[in-house]
Structure 1
């Protein structure tokens, strides 16, 4: 009964959410688009002609934003475990980012291109066990950062969703080790009760 009440409450909130309604009217696949747009409007991350990699792309709202802002001269690569409906101008790979063969496919498609920005909205499949879920989130973050450090051009940017909890401050420090500066962003479209924040590494340091 409690779960049913919780589900109904969530659905009611979701239906009435202004960002959900706005996404439907403006053609975005989820409300998450407005999180990326708010950060990008503030920090001017995605510009015309850029090479963008979007990790954890499903259902594709961040990818939509990236394509529109990188323009016809840009290149956008997206990856997710779940299927994503095709988008013009996007090379999409369905697979597990933790799988070496999937990562290899992405790197092959990049073909040696230096990446301007790596976006990661990845989250683990939640077990409901907080310590386990946080550890999985940090692990995915470490994989995303490792990828970014191997493919970002000097001066490039790294934007990742993380959850505040065990290992969070250490992961922040690790990003700062590789970038000139680190910003923490909590866009308005991110619900107040959510522990999620977005860590933004600016100015990838040259090796």
Structure 2
């Protein structure tokens, strides 16, 4: 039995797809599937061959505040499935030999022209040195679209993702070259003061960005730090 139906008028008007609740599917899973089927960015990603809808968030952020440039060395933390790396490859022109894109993840990522994917935990003490060895130099950009697993408790989830961003920011300050940039996912509700203070000390500019590609009901926000000055003393 087909568990997907359409509602609305035909004849030029888009139809909204609704998913009938199946016996073995929870309500939350049904709502997630319905949202996916009706998400224009999911459809666009499939149509344009992008690996994830998240790619359009990075595209929009870079269009508003250009920081990805040809020839740069980019590190993508938690790269799977590769949507952000895909955008970085195009922006730095690594497929044409002008830049480098290295994505690391705990999971294997399907190969992509212009990008190098490695199975590596960025929290491994040897990770910064390993990445510098792979790049042959410091990185120009560190990207992080990572998010801690959600618990459903807003305050707990906020603390967990801020903790993850703090670790990613510390990693970035270890491997970034002077003038480099750091972009990471956070949650609305404010970034912890200690993290903001650290970033403002280490970067010339720190701003929060909410791209249109982020779902309206999502509390996600992105923090873009540019003009790396150097790691702050402990």
Corresponding residue of 2:6 = none
Corresponding residue of 1:125 = 149
Alpha-carbon distance between aligned partners in 1 of 2:109 and 2:152, rounded to the nearest angstrom: 26
* Counterpart pick for 1:94 among 105, 109, 119: 119
Alpha-carbon distance between aligned partners in 2 of 1:115 and 1:98, rounded to the nearest angstrom: 17
Matched-pair contact (CA < 8 Å) for 1:57–1:78: yes
Say whether 1:34 aligns with 2:59: no
Say whether 1:186 aligns with 2:231: no
Superposition map of 1:1-207 within 5 A: 4-71=26-93, 72=96, 73-111=98-136, 113-165=137-189, 168-206=192-230
Matched-pair contact (CA < 8 Å) for 1:134–1:166: no
In our comparison, the structure showing a higher alpha carbon Rg is 2
Matched-pair contact (CA < 8 Å) for 2:77–2:103: yes
Q: How many residues align?
A: 205
Matched-pair contact (CA < 8 Å) for 1:115–1:156: yes
> What is the SS of the residue equivalent to 2:26?
helix
Alpha-carbon distance between aligned partners in 2 of 1:31 and 1:191, rounded to the nearest angstrom: 10
Which deviates more from structure 2 when the two are superposed, residues 87-96 or residues 16-25?
87-96
Alpha-carbon distance between aligned partners in 1 of 2:122 and 2:152, rounded to the nearest angstrom: 22
Alpha-carbon distance between aligned partners in 2 of 1:63 and 1:100, rounded to the nearest angstrom: 23
Matched-pair contact (CA < 8 Å) for 2:54–2:213: yes
Alpha-carbon distance between aligned partners in 2 of 1:167 and 1:116, rounded to the nearest angstrom: 23
Residues 17-38 of structure 1: CA deviation (Å, up to 9, x unaligned): 0000000000001100000000
Q: Which has the higher contact order (CA 8 A, sep 6+)?
A: 1
Structure number with the higher helix fraction is 1
Residues 40-68 of structure 1: CA deviation (Å, up to 9, x unaligned): 11111111111111111110000000001
Q: Over the residues paired in the alignment, what is the CA RMSD in angstroms? A: 2.0
